[in-house]
Amino acid sequence: MNQRAPHPSFRPAQGAGEGLDWAGVDRLDYKSEGEAPFRGISRRVLFDQPELQGQLRYFEIEPGGYSTLERHEHAHAVVILHGAGRALVGRAVRPVAVPDLVWIAPWSWHQFRAAADRPLGFLCLVNQERDRPQLPTPAERAELAREPALAAFFAGN
């Protein structure tokens, strides 16, 4: 288990349009390439504390990028911290912006998309111990896309 001392040292963004950064916090790959579909997203682990059995991560999606459409048994508590975009949770798509809260219940399909012209950054609280995400089968994805709002979301519109 990665036991990391808290280090809430905020480092201001370098210029307009750039995202959030913290001294001593590495910018990591979101997932391994090829593991799942995603575009333009980075991951930072801000806290990884056994005392809380939790991890607080910061994800940042570039304009036009998106996280993986997935579901799993563990839940996410999300706080939008930067920029704007949209979130699919379950069968609902809604716009999100600072400082919206998004609750992703166990086994809910979820995906985040940054706006075309703005990044989307959010905090995501999870259990340290968690199951691996499931991706939709082609049939499940097609079933979700029967909802016009979800089809438009998947198409990036």
Residues serving a catalytic function are 124
Q: Phi first, then psi: what are they for 124, rounded to 5°? A: -140, 115
Which whole-number Å values give the CA distances from 149 to 24, 96, 112, in the listed order?
A: 40, 15, 14
Distance in Å from the first CA to the final CA of the chain: 40
* Positions of E strands within the chain: 10-11, 21-22, 28-29, 39-49, 54-66, 76-89, 92-97, 101-104, 110-114, 120-127
